[in-house]
Structure 1
Amino acid sequence: MATKNNSQNSLRLDRRETKCSVFLCREKPDANQPVIFNPDFFVERLKHEHPQTFLDLVLSNITRLIDLPGEEFAQLTGESEPKVPSSSGFLRSFNFRKRKEKGLIFGAPLTEEGIAQIYQLIEYLSKNLHVEGLFRVPGHSLRQAALREMLNTATEIDLETGDFHPNDAATLLKVYLGELPEPLLTHRHYHAHLKIGELTCFDEKGNKTNDPDKERQIEAFQLLFMLLPPTNRSLLKLLLDLLYHTARSQHLNKMSAINLATMFAPHIIWPKNVTASDLQGSIEKLNNGVAFLIRHSQKLFKAPVYIKEYARLFYTGSKTLQSNDDLNLSSGSKTGSIAAIIAPSPSPSMRSIAGESSSTRSIKPSENQSYTESCLRELYMQVNSMPESAKKKKLIRQFEKQPDPTSSAETRTPFIKRHGRSRSAGGIIKRKALGGQISAAKENGTAESSSLFLKRWVD
């Protein structure tokens, strides 16, 4: 009896020491603020409800990171056919004949049904990561043929019975990827992958180094993967997750990330129907790129912070949206990543939400207005210091024609292009550029200096 009581007491103590990750919140939820647990919820919603806005947002940030000439950019967007290395006509005709015998899964275009079948292989392999030489050592040809037929006909399979070896499943997974009509990473993205691999760090003088810029590469891959077809993205995530955990067990299976990349690059990123000689010097880049995907796979399928914030602001009623560069300026980040996405004031490159009338928007003045005022003040002082000429008088007259903007600052809309002779910021010049000197003159009691200054303005 005493032993039983002691065990119950120890159990209670263990429960007290256990940290609980669930807590109750008695605060009433804000009816105006939706409770979203998926951080990419608004991103996915924007992608499906406003595909063009989403596409423009992602493409603008990709081109900020990598240089894509007109033709390569057109290939990425699908406006032109992808131009990738190709092989001889004989090899193309041979592969075409080979694909004619395709079944439900192998050799067929990628579908959700196909992914569901292939997932059985991935799930089985994830339980056998200890097998030495996994993905390198080929399986038995007869067992592979039987397993292939079962997958092609959607037959129910129990891989745990021991009828098949993990090497059979591993080899068949590579065969399936190799027989897809298009690489898993698509022909359209081929040149973008090469360019991302060339992103390197800069030294203190602004010169490029040989050190890869991992943060920018991860950001570029995050954006690029958001443009993949949903089925490609789903299977790629499953595959890279499997290879990531395989590489983590390399002390058992002897398969590092670069070894796995060498095995899989020809199947997921090489253009179809090519040989190693067709790719010339790109093989090392492609292998290193796939190895990078394996090592950082746990970060690549998350939307960048500024994309999440854009999508959130799009649906939560904010009047302005900011780009990645603007948020970097607001947070004072030097690394390019955004630590805090909350920006207290709108920036000069604010993006207006599509569909919102510019006549109904209202933007409050911010710190950027002070920056604009200082720039205009400096501009006016430069004009005023010019030698007397007809050009100088003309410029000063243009400044004089501008009204005081403070009265309409609440109703002005950013990013409205005004005519050169329209009214804009003359009041800033008169108040800021001249007002400081006039007030200083008054404080010093030099009324004569003030009158001379005003006379100079009138002249």
Structure 2
Amino acid sequence: MTTKTEPQNNHRLDRRETNCSVLFNHEKPNANQPVIFNPDFFVERLRHEHPQAFTDLVLSNITRLIDLPGDEFAQLTGELEPRVPSSSGFLRSFNFLKRKEKGIVFGAPLTEEGIAQIYQLIEYLHKNLHVEGLFRVPGHSLRQAALREMLNAGTEIDLETGDFHPNDAATLLKAYLGELPEPLLTHRHYQAHLKIGELTYFDDKGEKTDMPDKERQIEAFQLLFMLLPAANRSLLKLLLDLLHHTARNQHVNKMSAINLATMFAPHIIWPKNVMTSDLQGSLEKLNNGIAFLIRHSQKLFKAPVYMKEYARLYFTGSKTLKSSDDSTLCSGTRDGPLDVITAEVSPPSMKTVPDETSSPCSAKTSKTYTESALRELYQQVNNMPESAKKKKLIRQFEKQPMMTPPADSRTPFIRRHWRSRSLGGIIKRKVLGSQILTEKENGTPQRLPSSS
């Protein structure tokens, strides 16, 4: 008996020694070896540790890119119930009520557990991108029913056995998305998606053209996706990556980005329980929007550069934030730096970034930097094409008695009703408000320098 157990004991000893050699290796790391670092680390840290500050920062930049009137902004933030197209027919509603019983996956709210089950389909489909008509050709109904039951039961499935066809998995993936209680991209974001699709270039006269501004659209989607619930964002990333690689193999599977968008738009962005006729003129815009997400999916889940810089400064600070003026604003609290950062750090259109290696800035240098930033900000607003948003922003400058811009640099406009309280309020609070507060405390009122 001893002879039988001895080899086993030796095997266990060998494994233990192997583990020790890995776990207790105290060798110094090679200084020349590159350090792997997540560029979005501070952004994610800000999201988890200071969610309200993170949300305010994202929203302020979204409203810089797209015009969201008061109600639409309130829908995006969750202050109002989303207003989306509703069904005008009876047939769709009746079919909706006839859905099968809910399980832990199909028909259930989006959860990490459900995503783990559906990921089995996604992983399998990644290996079968060559199948012609993938996502367009339906699978076999009996095989789909069996696969659905196994997924609902939480079973780990070996799809490589040949019992199921890739079309079965593709059809079930669409069915899962279609049976979610809310679209994957959420009802709250519906209006924002429509507005992002309208971002186009301007001509020399400041008139909108028909040419999409892809860079601004990508930036807007990057910000919008940061506001998605964690589970929605995770599944969306997995799904768009699958569809992106499917479209890259369209020479084999005959499924282009627009074909895939036509297949998936009803399942991930259409409001629930609606028909094509209910969407009227938005249908083409929605399909084109999903096609855009598929084509550019590899860029959409990265934080914009200025978001990374804002988040980094929030936690690490900067020499430019250590002047006496900034110390007064911060008051030694952790809740203060976000206002200071958004006021002192250059907006996205200004590419200057404070140098952390420089010596501490004096109060005079800080004041000059702020004046310069405000002057450039006003000049940027003044150069914007004529729009309600431009008029709104200029009104914000003029409402500040000590911030009134020079008369020769102002653009006359007709006063109209307020359409949005989002971007204008943020600029007033974050930039102008911080500057006025500083001047009042120091007793040195300042006027906005001329842009000339």
TM-score normalised according to structure 1 size:
0.68
Which residue matches 1:299?
A: 299
Show the counterpart of 2:115: 115
C-alpha contact (below 8 Å) 1:327/1:343 kept by paired residues: no
Change over 3 Å in CA distance of 1:343–1:133 after alignment to 2: same
* Shift, 1:44, TM fit: 0.9
Deviations 1:214-246 (A, max 9, x none): 000000000000000000000000000000000
Q: What is the alpha-carbon distance in structure 1 between the residues aligned to residue 348 and residue 157 of structure 2?
A: 52
1:306–1:323: 8 Å Cα contact kept in structure 2?
Answer: no
Matches within 5 A, 1:252-263: 252-263=252-263
Offset of 1:259 from its aligned partner?
Answer: 0.3
Counterpart of 1:284 in structure 2 is: 284
Aligned: 1:326 with 2:346:
yes
- Displacement after TM superposition at 1:207 (Å): 1.4
**Is contact 2:345-2:353 (8 Å) kept?**
no
Alignment of 1:405-444 (within 5 A): 414-416=435-437, 418=439, 423-424=443-444
Cα deviation digits, residues 185-235 of structure 1 (max 9, x gap): 000000000000000001122211000000000000000000000000000
Q: Residue 368 of structure 1 corresponds to which residue in structure 2?
A: 369
One-letter code of the match for 1:80? L
**Counterpart position of 1:72:** 72
Q: CA deviation at 1:163?
A: 0.5
Q: Does residue 105 of the first structure (1) align with residue 99 of the second (2)?
A: no
2:306·2:348 contact (CA, 8 Å) conserved in 1?
A: no
Shift of residue 94, structure 1, vs aligned partner:
2.6
8 Å Cα contact 1:110/1:231 also seen in 2: yes
Query: What residue in structure 1 maps to residue 9 of structure 2?
Result: none
Residue of structure 2 aligned with 1:342, choices 349, 353, 357: 353
Q: Pairwise mapping of residues 145-224 of structure 1 onto structure 2 (< 5 A)?
A: 145-224=145-224
How far apart in 1 are the matches of 2:373 and 2:169? 64
Match of 1:25 among 25, 28, 31: 31
Kept in 2, the 8 Å contact 1:330–1:343? The answer is: no
Q: Quote the Cα distance in structure 1 between the aligned partners of 2:370 and 2:155.
A: 68
CA distance in 1, matches of 2:87, 2:436: 50
- Which consecutive segments of 4 or more residues in structure 1 shift more than 6 A? 372-375
Give the partner amino acid of 2:354.
Answer: A
Distance 2:281 2:375 in 1: 52
Structure 1 residues 328, 53: closer, same or farther in 2, change over 3 A? closer
- Segments of structure 1 that go 5 or more residues without pairing to the other structure are 1-22, 30-34, 332-340, 346-360, 383-412, 429-459
Which blocks of at least 5 consecutive residues in structure 2 are unaligned? 1-28, 322-339, 377-403, 408-433, 448-452
User: Which of the two has higher C-alpha Rg?
Assistant: 1
Task: Quote the Cα distance in structure 1 between the aligned partners of 2:91 and 2:363.
Answer: 62
Provide the rounded CA distance (Å) in 1 between the counterparts of 2:439 and 2:38. 42
CA distance in structure 1 between the aligned counterparts of 2:296 and 2:306, rounded to whole angstroms: 20
Cα separation, 2, equivalents of 1:138 and 1:362: 69
2:346 and 2:353 in contact (8 A); partners too: no
Mapped contact 1:306–1:324 kept (Cα < 8 A): no
Counterpart-to-counterpart distance in 2, 1:308 and 1:185: 24
How far apart are residue 156 of structure 1 and its match? 2.2
Letter matched to residue 256 of structure 1: S
User: Aligned pair in 2 of structure 1 residues 131, 324: CA closer, same or farther (>3 Å)?
Assistant: farther
| TM-score, scaled relative to structure 2 | 0.69
Q: Deviations over 1:283-336 (max 9, x none)?
A: 0000000000000000000011111111111111232524799345543xxxxx
Q: CA deviation at 1:98?
A: 3.1
Go from structure 1 to structure 2 and tell me whether the alpha carbon gap of 1:204 and 1:116 turns closer, same or farther (over 3 Å shift).
Answer: same
Cα RMSD of the aligned pairs, angstroms, is 3.4
Say if 1:57 and 1:93 are closer, same or farther in 2 by CA, change over 3 A: same
